[in-house]
Amino acid sequence: MKNAFSIPRPVPEGPWRWLVPVLLVLLFLLVLMWLPWQARQMESNERQEQLIADTLWVEQTLRFELARSEEALATLGNDLAVSSPPHDALQARLAQMLKTGHEVLRVVWFDADGKVRAMRGMELPAAGLTESSREAAAMSRTTRTGRYSDPYGATGLMHGLVDFHLPLYHGRTYVGSLVATYNLQILLDENVPWWFAQDNALSLLDRDDRVVARRAAGGPGRGVYTHKRALDLPGASIVLATDSVKGAPRLLPNLLVGSVIVLALGLVLSLAALWRHIARTVAAENALRQQMAFRTAMENSLLTGLRARDLEGRVTYVNPAFCRMVGLPAEELIGKRPPMPYWAPEAMADYEYRLRKVLEGDAVPQFETVFQRPDGERVPVLVFEAPLVDSHGRHTGWMSSMLDITDRKHAEELARQQQEKLEASARLATMGEISSMLAHELNQPLAAISSYTAGALNVLARADEGTGAPLDTGMLRRALEQANTQARRAGQIIRSVHEFVKKREPRRERVSIPQVIDGIRALVELQARQSYVTLQFAVPAGLPPVLADRLLLEQVLLNLTRNGIEAMQGSDPEGRLLRISAAAADGHVSVSVSDHGHGIAPEVAERLFSPFFSTKAEGMGMGLSICRTAIEFHGGTLTHADNPGGGTVFTFTLQQAQAEHAALG
């Protein structure tokens, strides 16, 4: 094996040993020739870039001045489109526009028929507007936006003029237009600073490259540094052209000598820097080796799975935690393209959709999914996606971090089961409170059934005695019908109680709010009669259905009505009114339960929905908390407000079934 620290052999003599000095000399000569040209080129580029930046600044200054004038015209036009102000006030506003903008020579207000309603400034020519201005007026009326005409004019103040046409509409009706005439020469003189005009000759050119305005305080340009930029005026083609008065940079006389000295010093310094660089490189390599070892140890101890993919979806990196999570070694994952071996068959469509979004550059930053291990075990994970950017700021792929949320899922399932137990306990507690009322209510239909059946038996007994009296079938039928009605009433009460206390898994289905209210109506009436409360229902029959669990909604309504009835215990009997209403609006269905009780104090309202908080001495403080949880389970909200007539109004809102299906789709 070759020794890495062996002494190198002496270099044999030969003609090629002069190759390095010759190359150095040639490099030296090339540098001497390249440095002046490069310096001149850099200076030229700097001047050109400075000219471009200054031209852009001037263009923005001119456009800002015109935009300010356009905004003033738009404000005036909005007022004129609504109503015509007094003549003196209108003339004062037009005069103010001419005073604040010296480049504005004329402002004219035309009505819908093209007649002059008001004018300020320079008189209109006898021939009227130019052809270009009339075309701009027609285009502005068609597009309903302001338009500029092409420059016109030949001599004096009439040289370099443009018209700006602003159409006026009242609703959809065209009511006229405002026309402002600008002098481009004044615009250039007023808005271009003197220091820029001293170094550059500025010109405004029309679409035929004819000069319509010029400013050259420092003399004509030399044509070395030039730049053109369009003013971007709607309807007009006007270009701002700048020509610097500066010439091409010259070479310094002592540039060659200075280059030689600098190069010589550079050679000495480069040698020292080379040794220093070698020492730093060795130190950096050692530090990098230590950092890599530390990083590897840290990645091996992480519980979070890490995965990197390129822009094509190919896996480029995985850490040991990810390998343990999917049950596959890194060798089977690196370089793998979708579909991945750890994708579960039942979630294949979700994987493909998210992969497509990633390749389109629109990755979902956080989502939950499930992975499948080779033995078929499913692992629920929480995935975080983030762009992968290299040291040059280029997007090279996507970095994903995964958390195994199996324990969290188990905890959520346990919490859901506990919530169901609390709901069942609340229902049983409610039924315990109304058990005495239920016995009283069932006693009435059962007693009625007994009476009606006894009457029917008497009718049959008289017919059997042989007295000759005919059998009264009408009376017998009425007695049996009344007994049947009372039996159905008792059965309805028993079915309502059975459905209310029956334990089952929550399920969402299309539910009609009127049917939900009818389902608990018997139980609500029991409580209301016991407390001498008058019930009032305002539930339209044509309400749209909602997607919900009917039993949970019945529990919420029964809890809210019971709270309302209890809140009116201290009120006068004639004022005890409980109102249940429902309405539909904006794709939602809202149900309100309002009472005329003692209301809710502000300090109580802050903790009203908190678990285990109750204003009742024997209350558990879970009723309203369970109600809010049940409504939020359906994606709705439960709120409360003061009743204008005294008391409280509780309202829960749910999304309509049609809108919910559209959102899920």
pLDDT for 498? 59
DSSP H helical segments within 302-379, as ranges? Answer: 320-326, 348-359
pLDDT at residue 613 tops 50: no
Q: Give pLDDT, residue 665.
A: 35
pLDDT band at 383 (very low <50, low <70, confident <90, very high): confident
**What's the pLDDT at 250?**
60
Confidence check: pLDDT of 136 > 80: yes
Confidence of residue 139 (pLDDT cuts 50, 70, 90): very high
Q: What confidence score (pLDDT) does residue 434 get?
A: 52
Single out the residue of 501, 380, 366, 480 nearest to residue 434, CA to CA.
Answer: 501
Average pLDDT over residues 429-445: 55
What's the whole-number mean pLDDT along residues 560-579? Answer: 86
Residue 109 and residue 233: Cα distance in Å, rounded?
A: 21
**pLDDT for the residue 55:** 87
Average pLDDT over residues 342-350: 84
HSE of 555, CA atoms in CB hemisphere, 13 A: 33
The mean pLDDT value for 566-573 works out to 84
For residues 201, 206, 209, 212, the Cα torsion angle rounded to the nearest 10 degrees is -50
Q: For all residues of the chain together, what is the average pLDDT?
A: 78
Question: Residue 664 pLDDT > 50, yes or no?
Answer: no
Is 80 exceeded by the pLDDT of residue 144?
Answer: yes
Phi, psi of 276 (to 5 degrees): -65, -40
Q: What is the mean pLDDT of residues 614-620?
A: 49
Query: Given pLDDT bands bounded at 50, 70 and 90, which one contains residue 178?
Result: very high
- Asked whether this chain's domains 26-246 and 507-665 adopt the same fold, the reply is no
For 507-665, CATH gives: 3.30.565.10
- Per residue in 248-280, pLDDT tens? 766 554 455 566 667 766 766 776 677 688 778
Q: Which CATH superfamily is domain 304-402 in?
A: PAS domain (3.30.450.20)
Q: What is the mean pLDDT of residues 219-228?
A: 83
Residue 433 confidence (pLDDT) above 60: no
pLDDT single digits (tens) 5-48: 333 444 444 455 556 655 776 676 677 667 667 767 787 788 88
Query: Which of 170-174, 287-291, 446-450, 528-532 holds the top average pLDDT?
Result: 170-174
With a CB cutoff of 8 Å and minimum separation 6, the contacts of 186 are 102, 103, 105
Q: How far apart are CA 121 and CA 95, in angstroms?
A: 8
Q: Please tell me the predicted confidence (pLDDT) of residue 180.
A: 93
Q: Measured between alpha carbons, how far is 121 from 124 in angstroms, rounded to an integer?
A: 9
CATH 3.30.450.20 given to domain 26-246: yes
pLDDT at 9: 45
Sign of CA dihedral 244, 245, 249, 254: negative
Q: What is the mean pLDDT of residues 498-515?
A: 69
Contacts of 587 (CB under 8 A, 6+ apart): 655, 656, 658, 659
Q: Where are the domains of the chain?
A: 26-246, 261-301, 304-402, 405-505, 507-665
Distance CA 665, CA 659 (A): 10
pLDDT digits (tens, 9 = 90+) for 397-428: 888 888 888 777 787 777 767 766 766 666 56
Residue whose pair of structure tokens reads 């000295």 in the numeric block: 261
Q: Are 185 and 166 in contact (CB under 8 A)?
A: no
pLDDT tens for each residue of 301-339: 677 888 888 888 889 888 888 888 888 898 888 888 888
CA-closest candidate to residue 176, choices 106, 110, 94: 110
Element (DSSP H or E) covering residue 203? strand 200-205
At residue 604, the pLDDT reads: 73
Can you tell me the mean pLDDT for 201-212? Answer: 88
pLDDT band for position 182 (cuts 50, 70, 90): very high
User: What is the per-residue pLDDT for 101?
Assistant: 86
